[in-house]
């Protein structure tokens, strides 16, 4: 099968590309999380850059998104590519499409001269995938703004206030280029919603 990789800024996505992404995400998550909203994907921070793999028919079969953001780690400011929306069509998993999408995303991150690290949080069961693609687990306490939830599911405690996630949830980083300063010590403040 022929696959077509593409890196595109969010603002440059065509209507057909948005439709293809919506179909990919809705196949995976619609029954649990509702329709995919590119401006607020399941309450997480949206991607500003998308690495997408399309099949020959124009369907999106793999995706990695990221957003540039300055975060605080201890007393240091770190420019990261907050990474999320990592997904491969469940019918095509195990064929290297996730690795291809991640390679595209990391290439786009390296092309941005001011980014220092890729940064992501994930479930424990997918840590091995990220480690295979060049990410390294760190153990940190992370502070972020709570995910924005749909109004019908939001309770008083879920209104976007600051929340602290204790050490233990998987957090991984990936240096964008050689010579980047070592990851600083201290609490991580994402200064916004997670990706």
CB within 8 A of 95, min separation 6: which ones? none
d(CA 166, CA 173): 17
Look at residue 1 in the predicted model and tell me its pLDDT.
Answer: 85
Query: What are phi and psi for residue 126, nearest 5 degrees?
Result: -105, 0
In total, the chain counts a number of residues equal to 195
126-147: average pLDDT: 94
Assess whether pLDDT exceeds 70 at residue 113: yes
Helix (H) or strand (E) run with residue 25 in it = helix 15-33
C-alpha to C-alpha distance for 33 and 29, rounded to whole angstroms: 6
The pLDDT of residue 159 is above 60:
no
| Contact indicator for 97, 54 with CB cutoff of 8 Å | no
* CB of 87 closer than 8 Å to CB of 25: yes
C-alpha span between 107 and 51 (Å, rounded) = 10
pLDDT of 140 reads 94
Q: Mean per-residue pLDDT for 91-113?
A: 97
Q: Provide the whole-model pTM.
A: 0.91
At residue 167, the pLDDT reads 66
Structure-block tokens of residue 150: 């749909």
Specify the pLDDT at position 100: 98
Dump the DSSP string for 120-152: EE--GGGHHHHHHTT-EEE---EEEEPPPPPGG
Kindly compute the dihedral angle of the four CA atoms of residues 140, 143, 145, 148, in this order, to the nearest 10 degrees.
40
Torsion angle (degrees, nearest 10) of CA 9, 12, 14, 19: 40
């Amino acid at each position: 099968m022929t696959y077509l990789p593409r890196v595109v800024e969010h603002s440059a996505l065509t209507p057909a590309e948005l439709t293809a992404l919506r179909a990919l995400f809705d196949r995976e998550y619609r029954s649990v999380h509702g329709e995919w909203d590119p401006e607020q994907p399941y309450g997480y921070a949206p991607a500003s850059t998308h690495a997408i793999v399309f099949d020959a028919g124009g369907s999106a079969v793999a995706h990695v998104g990221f957003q540039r953001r300055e975060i605080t780690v201890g007393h240091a400011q770190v420019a990261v590519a907050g990474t999320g929306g990592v997904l491969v069509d469940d019918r095509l998993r195990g064929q290297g499409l996730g690795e291809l999408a991640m390679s595209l995303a990391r290439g786009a991150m390296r092309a941005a001269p001011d980014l220092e690290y890729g940064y992501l949080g994930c479930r424990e069961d997918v840590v091995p995938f990220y480690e295979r693609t060049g990410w390294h687990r760190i153990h940190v306490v992370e502070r972020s703004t709570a995910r924005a939830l749909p109004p019908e599911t939001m309770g008083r405690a879920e209104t976007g206030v600051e929340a602290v996630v204790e050490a233990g949830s998987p957090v991984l980083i990936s240096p964008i280029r050689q010579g980047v300063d070592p990851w600083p010590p201290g609490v991580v403040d994402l200064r916004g919603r997670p990706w």
